[in-house]
């Protein structure tokens, strides 16, 4: 886990190979995440982010489309 991101208000969603971090306070709700991959990001489930639902490359590609920086990732 990345202590700096946690200290900055991000919440971690842990996967086997990659962790996804989300900060609701800076999210601009562009919807790129949900439209980018509904298996990875699904607002109708808890937790709404499950990194292991898709391959690592998909996680990276979708998160890289986040315009606000509310989503980050770290390889395990």
- The order of strands in the sheet holding 71-75 is 11-13, 18-22, 71-75
Can you give the pTM of this predicted structure?
Answer: 0.95
Rounded distance, CA 8 to CA 31, Å? 22
pLDDT tens figures, 50-74: 999 999 999 999 999 999 999 999 9
At residue 1 the predicted structure's pLDDT band, cuts being 50, 70 and 90, is low
The pair of three-digit structure tokens given for residue 72, joined into one six-digit string: 């980050």
- Tally of domains in the chain: 1
Q: CB of 12 within 8 A of CB of 6?
A: yes
Residue 50, domain extent: 3-75
Predicted confidence at residue 13, as pLDDT, reads 98
CATH number for the domain that contains residue 17: 3.30.70.20
CB 70 within 8 A of CB 30: no
């Amino acid at each position: 886990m990345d202590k700096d991101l946690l200290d900055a208000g991000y919440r971690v969603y842990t996967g086997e190979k990659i962790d996804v971090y989300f900060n609701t306070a800076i999210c601009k709700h562009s919807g790129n995440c949900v439209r980018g991959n509904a298996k990875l990001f699904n607002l109708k489930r808890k937790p709404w982010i499950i990194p292991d639902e898709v391959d690592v490359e998909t996680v990276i590609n979708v998160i890289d489309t986040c315009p606000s920086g509310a989503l980050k990732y770290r390889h395990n």
